[in-house]
Structure 1
Amino acid sequence: MTTQNNVTQPNPQVSFIKPVLIGAAIAFLVISFFVFGVDYTDPAWGEYWRIRPLLITPLAGAIGGAFYAFMAYQSARGFNKALTILLSIVVYLIGVWMGVVVGLDGTMWD
């Protein structure tokens, strides 16, 4: 006689905060390279022109990180892991690029 083991394994927990913070930090480093590397600033840009890109771009990076966390969750549920990682990278890069464009609009991106 054999006994059945009815133990179900739970889905692995996918962290949400960690990818969001990493995505925002990478985007902050990217925009810092552009913002703090400026030698000449146009007086028409205003005194606090750096605030907008330093807020918008990390926000876009955080959204890209959240998308990565969502796709990691989908991967844990059975979707193709390579496809979800590739899609996450593409969405993140496009999101950070759009964050840089929107953040620098009217100043360096003119």
Structure 2
Amino acid sequence: MSTQNSSTTKSIRTASLVKRMLIGAAIALVLIALFVLPVEGKPEWGNFWKVRPLIIVPLAGAAGGACSYFLEYLFGEGGRRKALIVIVSVVIYIIGLWMGTVLGLDGTLWD
């Protein structure tokens, strides 16, 4: 008698996850760059004050992209359910992007 493994678990597609994270980070980088690059800083902020937001905000965007992937991975099976997941993912991404922007600009433009 042989045993068969009839596991129905889904595997994580790394390429798709990385693609979502890169898209989220790219959107965040463009938005923060449009906001930060035209600004001249105050002398007390230092020469490299723009580096912090240009690192932290894309990281928050990448986390939002990963959250979107995992929400779809866990719950995305049908039409209405998928539409709800897209809406929830966009809301989570916007909140995460806002929090990353506050964290990145804390002490400089967000004072």
* TM beyond 0.5: yes
**Separation (CA, whole Å) in 2 of partners of 1:94 and 1:36:** 22
Letter of the 2:101 counterpart: V
Equivalent residues of 1:56, 1:102 under 8 A apart: yes
| Corresponding residue number in structure 2 for 1:49 | 49
**Separation (CA, whole Å) in 2 of partners of 1:65 and 1:36:** 24
**Stretches of 4+ moved more than 3 A in 1?**
10-14, 75-79
| Corresponding residue number in structure 2 for 1:99 | 100
Unaligned stretches of 5+ residues in structure 2: 1-8
Percent identical pairs in the alignment equals: 51
**Separation (CA, whole Å) in 1 of partners of 2:107 and 2:36:** 13
Q: What number of residue pairs does the alignment pair up?
A: 101
TM-score by length of 2: 0.82
RMSD of Structure 2 on Structure 1 (CA): 2.2
State how 1:10-89 maps to structure 2 within 5 Å. 15-38=16-39, 40-77=40-77, 80-89=81-90
Equivalent residues of 2:60, 2:100 under 8 A apart: yes
Unaligned stretches of 5+ residues in structure 1: 1-9
TM-score by length of 1: 0.82
